[in-house]
Amino acid sequence: MYKTQAAIAAAVLALSGCAAIHGQQATDSEQILAQAGFRRESLSSQGATSAATQNLKVRQLTAETRNGSTTYEFYDPEFCHCTYIGGAKEYAELQRLRQARVNEHQQLLRTSSSGWSDPDPALWGPWNPEGLDVK
């Protein structure tokens, strides 16, 4: 009996940990999108069942070209209940910010592996959020 309860408790704990990690990854992605100038639109203002949002991949940056203009969208119905929308200018800034984070992370790795006893806490931060490669 106790083994069953312990197994159930462990499963609940593990699943809640996974949900927390996914939530943090979504937040990391959304922060860098906002920093790059992407516009946040609430799903309630778009109509949650609109055809446009139904075709988007969840928490994945997608590109759509119409009349020679490319629009980038990041759809998150689970955490922020919103879509981030940007154009070529915002996408270029996103790529610049992502590369700056990767460079900073690599510098922190070099610094922390050079014999310092306490690694920088930023070493484990959101240096490369998921879902930001265009699909």
Mean pLDDT of all residues in 17-32: 60
Residue 21 banded pLDDT, cuts 50, 70, 90: very low
pLDDT tens, position by position, 79-114: 889 999 999 999 999 999 999 988 887 887 777 666
Encoding tokens for residue 130? 């998921």
Total-model pTM:
0.67
In angstroms, rounded to a whole number, what is the distance separating the alpha carbons of residues 128 and 120? 17
Check whether 12 has a pLDDT greater than 70.
no
pLDDT tens, position by position, 37-74: 999 999 887 654 454 566 788 999 999 999 999 999 99
Question: Is 77 in a helix, a strand, or coil?
Answer: coil
